[in-house]
Structure formats: structure tokens, C-alpha cells
A and B are shown apart, each in its own frame.
Chain A
Amino acid sequence: MKRLLSPVSGTLREYLVAVGDRVTPETEVARVESMKMEIPVLAEFSGRVTALLANPSATLEEGQPLLELGA
């Protein structure tokens, strides 16, 4: 079980994956607005999404868990 952390502080705009989706390190899993830009968040790991951990439009801190990845 791995947790993907937000690389930046900002506002969560949307998740681009749902629970059950398979991702690879290059998959864009969410978009965060930060420094007036839409910043895609990459999965960094391979696996299956097991949980989304933040609410859309939530204010995120850098390092806040965004989602959980299982094998």
C-alpha cells in the first residue's frame, strides 16, 4: 500500500482517476491549482487506486496524501 502525496500546496481541482483504476508512474491522477497554474499530479508508482483521500476543491498542503495505491 502506497500513498501518493501532493507535490505542491494549492487547491485540488479534480481527480482524473477513480477507485479501481490501474495507473503507471506517468499517469496523471489529479489536477491541483497552484501559483495560478493547473498542475497535473503524476502517480509516481504503478498500482491500482484503492482510495481517494481528499475532497475536490479542498485546500491542499504540500505532502498531504491524495490517494492510496494497492498492488
Chain B
Amino acid sequence: MYQPAASGAAVGVALDRSTRGRLGLNWDKELDEVARRRVLAQRMGGPEKVARQHENGKLTVRERIERLLDADSFREVGSIAGAARYDGTQLVDFVPANQVAGHGTIDMRPVAIVGDDFTVRGGASDASVYEKLLYPERLAHDLRMPIVRLVDGTGGGGSVRTLESMGFTYVPALPGWHILDGNLTRVPVIGLALGSVAGLGAARVAASHYSLMVRETAQIFAAGPPVVAHAGQQVTKEELGGSQLHARNGTVDDEVESEEVAFARTRRFLSYLPRSVYELPARVACDDDPNRREDSLATIVPHDERKVYTMRPIVEAIVDRASFFEIGRLWGRSVICGLARFNGVACALLASDPYHYGGAWTRASSEKLTRLVDLADTFHLPIVHLVDVPGFQIGVDAERAATIRAGVRAMSAIERSSVPWCTILVRKCFGVAGAANRPAGRLSMRYAWPSGSWGSLPIAGGLEAAYRADLEAAADPPRLRAQIEERLRAVTSPLRSAERFSVEEIIDPRDTRRLICEFVQLAHHALVPGPTAQPFRP
């Protein structure tokens, strides 16, 4: 376990102040000045600005860090960086830089942290010290620990005010972005939008493995309402970039109702992941019986294929009790994504949600699935896939959304992943999207429930296309259609597929947990630490 030393720890022999002075060893004046500046920096933007931050329903950056990290674990770096004003050699004013940075621990594991201080110039770049923004990123990168970004403002992005102070303009560049980007291939990165964030601030939230925003107090946009008004659109900041939009279109993974929940979810997300790609996720003790049979699973899927059922209770029933952490609940909703544990082993979990397009892959759900598979591959999490996929979403909306393009990207993510897979065919598995129930080129343990139903096309719809000429020529088309359907149904039993080893095992749904726990017991020995061949892209 890592724990920073207590601050102010005495080293060597302690001499009193007057003795130190007599011996010419007294640095108290200098240290007093450092302490004085720390006190000034702790005021942030001053009592008025701090009060306004609270009135707006937001915590200050220092309160946020204190509530996110383990008690007394924050070690600040750059605590007296900022803009000083001197009268001769006398310091007369000091405004701290509007990022607070350093490191600390979450659940006794080290993390780098950087937070914007909105009380100083609204988090804008003219009050920032760019090197200080990069320090925690480099710390996370080089010492291999997760980084959490508490974004509230433009977070180092531009302001036209800088034109006057600099006296020139520049071709835009993001010095150090390669470190932020490199972190995505190396350590867990979490972006929290905790206020109105624009430009680079928005980019710092989105360039993460897990992002969220607080309902009503956080908004995200490339440019805010005043700029957008110039383009002729009159909108409020909530209309332009609120969570009702961005937690539903995949800009961020999740929305939360408060900053406290944001911090709780951050801690929870990190609990499943290793410190960096160079380590494997920790296996935790599990007090839930890996052989637990869940009777409810035997009667959950209806025989009538037109009727739906709820997938989340299936997920909750098979994972270690209360270990499922859903990611992206409000977007790409035909696929349920999250992290979970089976017999203490952290896994990524994908599951179809029949309530949304019958579980069909939409553009958004393909993007969400890609993101989770890439996360799993980056941090060495075995993947468990509960499948009920009638195919890609069909129809005009689906074509307009460029679904197949996002779909094949998801298929590439699956194919190129290298972590062990376990697939449970719960019900439907059709078409190209169905074929992506596992990577084709390597082993996936796979089990089918007796409710399994698969093929290149479902009979309904597929029949009309394949037998059009026969049906058109028939004296009684409905009767012929019924006859053909009966013939086809007779050969679509999962048992016939099992005869040909097209499906490996048909199982009692009540045994699902036991079989997945067996899988992870084998799989976690096959995990290999290190960077992955397919680097994570946001």
C-alpha cells in the first residue's frame, strides 16, 4: 500500500528558532514567506467568488479534491504558482493559478489529480500556468497512475483577452497534448465536467476512459451561447450543452445528480482497473458463491419472440452480488455496458437490451460497445457478452445514421481485442451484428440458453424475401407462407445447431453464473500485462 509521508515531518535534529539564528542556520523568514503565499493561494478567487461558486451549487476545487481523495492524502504540487504583483520587492497582490494539481490516493491507491479553479477568472487560460496543467498528466504518465481531471471552465483554453496581453496571435497548438493522448494508452483517465466547460476544457473531459457530467450545473460545448448567438442560434447553455443532450448522445458516458455522486462513481470506476496497463487488475475476495444458481433465470425469456424481457435483472443475477457498474445507461441503449466482477475477477460486461430496438445494434450502441471493448483490452479485463441481437437496426433512421460504418468499427474492436471472451447466447443472434457475438479468429467460450435462436436472417421478413417468386405464384399465398414457415421452424431448433457444433453447449440458464465463474478462473491466468496492440482512442 502506498501512502505519502505526513506533511511537515521533522528530519534530523530539531533546534529552536533562536539557536538556529545564532548559528546562522535560520531560513525561517523564507519559509514564513512560502507559508504566507500558501495561505494567499488557499483563498482561491477570494470570498466573494467562492460564495458565488457555492450559490451556483458547485464546490470549490479544493473542496472537490478533499472529497474525492482519501482523507489527508492530497500532496499539492505548484501550491504557490500564480500571478504576483510587486511594489519594488514587496509582494502586494497574489492571484493563484486557476488549476490545483498534485497527487493523492483513492482507496489507498495513488492517483494524479488536476482541477480547474472557476473562482479565478472563470477557469480561463489567461490565469492559468500551462506547465502546471501538464505536470499531473506527466506525473500520471511517467509514474504510471490514474489521472482524474476536475474540469470547470475552459481549462487552459483560449480567451481573446490574451491578444492584448501578449501582443500577437499564434497558430493554435496544444503543447503537451501528446501526453494527454499517451495517457489514454497507459493509465486510467477520468474526465469530470463540473461546470460549463468549453473548448479545451470540453476536450479534456472527452479525451478519457470514463467521463461524466453533473445534471444542471455542468454543460459541455465547443463554444458557449454567446459565440453560438453570433451564428444565429439563441439557446441557453443548458439547451446547448446540458446533460439532457450530452449524456444521451455519448459525449460523456454518464450524468449524475451531484458532485458527491460524481466522486463516488469515479472511485468505483477506478476500483475495477489496474494502476496502469503495465499491471493486471487486482482480484478481490468474493463472498458470493461462484456456484450460486439463480432460479429466476429459468423463466425470464418468453417463448413468444415478439415479447421482450428485461436484461438488467439477468446481469444482476449472475455477477458477484452488487458488483455491476453500468456505464452509459442513457445512450446507445440497445447495448448495456459496464464493469462487473465474477468470483472477484474484474470483467467488462456487454449485454443486449431488448427494450431498445429489440437489442439491435444502432450507431450509438455500436460506438458504446467499441468504447467498452477498447477499455477492456487496454486494461486487461476479460469480456462477458450476453447476446440477444436481431442484427443491425434496420430502416430509414438506421441508414441515415450511418449505422453500418459504426457497426463495422465495433466489429474491428471485437476482432482486434486480445482479452479472453465468454459469450452467452440468451436469445436472438442474427446477421452480421450477430456474428460479432465473439471474435472470430480466436477462442471464445460460448454457451447458449435453450431460448437461443439464430441464423443469417430471422424467418420473419427473411421468408418473404427468399420465397417471393413462390409466394407470388401461389393460389393461396398466406397458406403457402404458413407451410414454408412450419418447415423452416422445424430445422431451427438449437439442438440441430449443437449436433453440428455450430453452438458448443446448450445450458440451463440457472448455471450461467457458475459457468462464467469457471471461465474467469481460467481467463485471469491468460491475461498479459503491457500496452495493447490496438491503442485506445477516445
Chain A interfacial positions (CB closer than 8 Å to B): 7-9, 34-40, 42, 61-62
Contact = CB atoms under 8 A, between A and B. Distances in A.
Nearest to A34: B357
Nearest to B392: A35
A34 B307 CA distance: 11
B440 to A, nearest CB: 24
A67 to B, nearest CB: 17
Given A9-B395, A61-B397, A39 B355 contact: yes
B175 interface: no
B333 A7 contact: yes
Contacts of B356: 7-8, 39
Given A9-B397, A62-B397, A36 B308 contact: no
A32 B198 CA distance: 38
Interface string B292-323: 00000000000001111000000000000000
Main DSSP-derived SS at the B contact region: loop
22 contacts: A7-B333, A7-B355, A8-B356, A8-B357, A35-B357, A35-B360, A35-B394, A36-B390, A36-B458, A36-B460, A37-B306, A37-B307, A37-B390, A38-B307, A38-B308, A39-B308, A39-B354, A39-B355, A39-B357, A40-B308, A42-B355, A62-B397
A39 B333 CA distance: 13
Given A9-B395, A35-B393, A37-B358, 14 more contacts: A7-B333, A8-B356, A35-B357, A35-B360, A36-B390, A36-B458, A36-B461, A37-B308, A37-B354, A38-B306, A38-B307, A40-B355, A61-B397, A62-B397
A37 B393 contact: no
Contacts of B458: 36
Contacts of A35: 357-358, 360, 390, 393-394
A33 to B, nearest CB: 8
Interface of B: 305-308, 333, 354-358, 360, 390, 393-395, 397, 458, 460-461
Nearest to B461: A36
A69 to B, nearest CB: 15
Nearest to B394: A35
A24 to B, nearest CB: 15
B355 to A, nearest CB: 6
A35 B461 CA distance: 10
A9 B308 CA distance: 16
Nearest to B354: A37
Nearest to A38: B306
Contacts of A40: 308, 355
Contacts of B305: 37
Most buried by A among B333, B354, B356, B390: B356
A70 B333 CA distance: 26
Contacts of A61: 397
Chain B CB within 10 Å, residue with most, of A34, A35, A37:
A35
B430 to A, nearest CB: 10
B358 A34 contact: yes
A44 B536 CA distance: 34
Contacts of A7: 333, 355-356
Nearest to B391: A35
A34 B395 CA distance: 10
A36 B435 CA distance: 20
Contacts of A9: 395, 397
A37 B453 CA distance: 14
B306 A36 contact: yes
List the 4 closest A-B pairs by CB distance, nearest first. A35-B358, A37-B358, A9-B397, A35-B357
A8 B333 CA distance: 10
A43 to B, nearest CB: 13
B166 to A, nearest CB: 45
